[in-house]
Amino acid sequence: MLRVIQAFGLTSTPRKELPPAVDDVSFEALAGRVTALLGAPGAGKTTALRLMLELQPGRGITHFRGRPLHRIAHPAREVGVLLGEVPGHPARTARGHLRMLCAAAGVPVRRADEVLEAVGLVSLRDERLGTLSRGMDRRLGLACALLADPHTLVLDGPAEGLSTREGHWLHGALRTYADQGGTVLYTTADPKEAARTADHVVTLERGRLVADQSAADFSRTRLRPRVAVRTPHAARLATLLAKEARTGHRSIEVIREGGNRLSVYGSTCADVGETAFRHGVLVHRLADEVGDMGPGADSEGVAGDDGPAGEHLTGLGGYDGPADDDRTAPAGQETRDNAPRRPPQGTSLVPGRTGAGSAPLPPPISVRSAPSPLRPLRYECRRVTGVGTGLVIGAAVLVLSAVTAVVLARIGHTPQSRLLAAWPRQVPLPPAALGAGLLGALAFGDEFRHPALAADRGTVPRRLGLLSAKLLVSAVTALLLAALTVACDAQVLHVFYGRELARVPADWLSLSAGWAGLVIGCAWAGLLAAGLFRSTTAGLAAVVAVPVLVVPVVQRVWNGRSVRSAADFPMRLREVLLSQWPFGGERYVAAVLRVLVQPVGSALALSLTTLLCAYLLMALRGRVR
C-alpha cells in the first residue's frame, strides 16, 4: 500500500534543561487509512504534527508522498491542515473566508460553495466566524482543509470539545475521505475514540513512541473490556458483585462512575445480569464496551477486602483477553466493529469525488504549482472587502476631517491648501494620512492576527507577488480616501462659509501630487512596517514616527553646512534631464520632485526605502532557510 506520510526521527528542540517534547519519533501513515496519534495531554502529539509540517524548529524529516513539505511547490494541494480553530477574522462570513482562500489556493471560486455543501454549512454560509459554535467551527475548518482537494488531511484534536453527535459526524467524514483514497492523520487523547474510529494507532508517551499497531491489536493489548451498568441501585449492586466475586474467588473490579453508573472490569454481561436478577436489582442499561487504559490493565489478584461500596470497590480485575466481537455497543458510543464506516448513501464528503450512490459532481480540481497565494491581487481584494473595518475607518476619517476643517475655518489663519486637507500646523499628519496609514497597517497586521495563509506553512509568506498586491490595493484605497476627504471638506466648507473657502487653489497640480504622495506614502509605511514587525500597532507607529522623529533628522541634514541647498533642485534636474516631455509631462515630474525635497516628503521617502529594504532582506533570508 502507498505510504503517503513517512516521519523519520522527529525530535523537538529542548528548552533550557527540560527534555525535548518529542524525542526520536518515527512512524508511517498509509493511503486509504485513518491513523490516530494517541497520547495523554503533554505527550507531544501537537509538537509532532508541527514538526511534520515544519512549523517549528527541530530535527527529523517528514515525507509526503516522497517529498518534504518545503520542496512541494503548493503545500495546500498536498496537505490539508486543521490546527486549532479556524484562523479567520471573526467579522468575516464563512463563505467570504473560503472565497478569499480560493484566490490564495488558485482554485475556482465555486469551490467554496462545494466544500460548504460537503460539510453541511450551506445554511450558515453568511454567518460570521465569531458567531459559529464549536461544532460549526470544526466543520468550517474541515472545509478549509479540503479546499484545494489535498491528498492528505492532518488534524490536531478535531473532535475535542465536540458533542457526541458532532464527533460521530466528523469521524464519519474522515472515514469517507479515507475510503475514497485519501490519507487521514489526527491526534486524540481518548483511547476509546482511537480504537473506534482509526485503522492504525500510534501511541506517544512523554514524547517517545511506545506503540505502533493496528486498531485491532491496540484494542486487544492496550484496552480493557468492561461491562457498563446503569441502575438506580448502583451502590447495592456494586456491593453484591464484590461479595459474589470474593465468594467465587474471581478477580473483578467495580468502579463507581458517578450517579447511577457502574463499570465492571473482569466480568461479563451475563454474570452481572444474573446477579442483578437474583437479587431483584432493576437495571436500565447493561452493555459490553471498551474501557480506558490504566495502571490496572495488566494486574491480577483476588477480590478486595470487605467494606462498603465506594468509588473503587475492588481494584483487582485484570485483562481477561480480547473483547467479544458480538458485544453490545452502548448508547452514543459504538465499538469499532459496530461503528458506521461510511455516511448514508447518497452523500460524498469531498466535492469532485463521487461516493456510493452519490449524485454526479464536478471532476477533481487542478491546481497549478506556484508560490502561494496563487492569485494575490484577487485574494487581497476579497480580504479588504470581506470585513467592514475599512468602511468604519473611512467614515471616521471623513467625519473627523470635516469637523477639523470647520473648526480651522472658524479660527482662521490657516492656508486654504491645509484647510481642504484639515491639517492644522500643530498636528504632524492630517486625518486622511493617519487613516491611510492605519488601513495599510491592517493590510498586513491582520495576516498575522488571523493568519489564514499560514495554516500549512506556519507564517505569512513573504512573497513579492503578495507584497505587490497589497501595495497596489493600499495605494488605491489611500487615493480614494484622500479624494473623498478633500471633496467632503470642500462641501462642508461651502455649506458653512460659502464658495470662497471651497474654491480650487491655483497650484492644485503640485498640491494634488503632494497630497497623493503623502497618503500613499503613509499607507505603504504602515503596510511595510506591519509586515516587517508582524503587528498592526507597529505599522501605525511607523507612520506617526515619520513626522515626529524622521522629519527633524532630515531637516537637520538638509540644513547642514556640508549639504548643498536643494531649494532649486527640481528646476536644475529638469533642466539637465527633463528638457522636454510629451504632453507637458515635465510639469508633473517637477511637482513630484518638489514634494520629495520637502522635509516630510524626504522623510517619508527615506522611511519607505528603509522599510522596503528590510522587508526584502527578511524575505530573502526566509528563502535561504
The pLDDT score that the predictor gives to residue 466 is 86
The pLDDT score that the predictor gives to residue 85 is 86
Q: Is pLDDT above 70 for 362?
A: no
Q: Give the integer Cα–Cα distance in Å for 363 and 239.
A: 62
Q: Give the integer Cα–Cα distance in Å for 225 and 291.
A: 6
Q: What is the pLDDT of residues 239-284, one digit of tens each?
A: 999 898 888 888 888 888 777 888 888 888 999 999 999 999 999 9
Residue 490, amino acid: A
Q: Within 13 Å, how many C-alpha atoms sit on residue 314's CB side?
A: 32
| Entry field: residues in the chain | 625
DSSP-derived secondary structure letter, 44: S
The pLDDT score that the predictor gives to residue 276 is 92
Percent of the chain surpassing pLDDT 70: 76
Q: Which among 149, 132, 189, 101 is positioned nearest to 383, based on CA atoms?
A: 101
Confidence of residue 139 (pLDDT cuts 50, 70, 90): very high
Q: Give the integer Cα–Cα distance in Å for 420 and 316.
A: 87
CA-based Rg of the chain, rounded to a whole angstrom? 33
Q: What is the pLDDT of residues 180-229, one digit of tens each?
A: 999 999 999 998 899 889 999 999 999 999 999 999 888 877 787 888 89
Q: Which among 375, 369, 460, 458 is positioned nearest to 67, based on CA atoms?
A: 369
Q: Are 514 and 601 in contact (CB under 8 A)?
A: yes
DSSP-derived secondary structure letter, 501: G
C-alpha cell at 619: 524575505
Choose the weakest-confidence range: 216-220, 273-277, 294-298, 604-608.
294-298
Segment holding 379, helix H or strand E? helix 376-385
Choose the weakest-confidence range: 104-113, 205-214, 335-344.
335-344
The pLDDT score that the predictor gives to residue 225 is 80
Longest CA–CA span in the chain (Å) reads 114
Q: Are 362 and 354 in contact (CB under 8 A)?
A: no
The larger pLDDT score, comparing residue 85 to residue 357, is at 85
Choose the weakest-confidence range: 289-298, 496-505, 601-610.
289-298
Choose the weakest-confidence range: 359-368, 441-450, 529-538.
359-368
The larger pLDDT score, comparing residue 531 to residue 584, is at 531
C-alpha cell at 4: 503517503
- Give the residue-averaged pLDDT of 137-146: 94
Which of 206-220, 339-353, 500-514 tops mean pLDDT?
A: 206-220
Q: Give the integer Cα–Cα distance in Å for 509 and 511.
A: 5
Q: Give the integer Cα–Cα distance in Å for 67 and 4.
A: 10
Residue 465, amino acid: G
Domains and CATH numbers, the chain: 3-221 (3.40.50.300), 224-322 (3.30.70), 376-624 (no CATH)
The larger pLDDT score, comparing residue 33 to residue 15, is at 33
The pLDDT score that the predictor gives to residue 71 is 85
β-strand partners of 265: 226, 253
- Give the residue-averaged pLDDT of 332-338: 35
Q: Is pLDDT above 80 for 438?
A: yes
- Give the residue-averaged pLDDT of 615-624: 71
Through-space distance between the first and last CA atoms of the chain, rounded to whole angstroms: 34
Q: What is the pLDDT of residues 19-65, one digit of tens each?
A: 899 999 999 999 999 999 999 999 999 999 999 998 888 999 999 99
- Give the residue-averaged pLDDT of 277-292: 84
Q: Give the integer Cα–Cα distance in Å for 322 and 66.
A: 37
Confidence of residue 471 (pLDDT cuts 50, 70, 90): very high
With cell 482554485, the residue in question is 107
Residue 573, burial from CB neighbour count under 10 angstroms (0-12, 13-18, 19+): middle
430 in helix, strand or coil?
Answer: coil
Backbone angles phi, psi at 457, to 5 degrees: -130, -5
Q: What is the pLDDT of residues 559-603, one digit of tens each?
A: 654 444 444 555 555 555 445 555 555 555 555 555 555 666 667
Q: Is pLDDT above 80 for 558?
A: no
How far, CA to CA in Å, does 236 sit from each of 116, 256, 304, 595? 52, 11, 16, 91
Sequential DSSP letters for 531-558: HHHT-HHHHHHHHHHIIIIIHHHHHHHH
DSSP-derived secondary structure letter, 165: H
Q: What is the pLDDT of residues 403-427, one digit of tens each?
A: 999 999 888 888 888 888 888 888 8
Average pLDDT, the chain: 79
Q: Is pLDDT above 50 for 365?
A: no
C-alpha cell at 29: 501513515
β-strand partners of 186: 36, 155
Q: Give the strand pairing for 25-30 and 3-12.
A: antiparallel
- Give the residue-averaged pLDDT of 278-291: 85
The larger pLDDT score, comparing residue 179 to residue 340, is at 179
Rounded-to-5 percentages of helix, strand, coil across the chain? 50, 15, 35
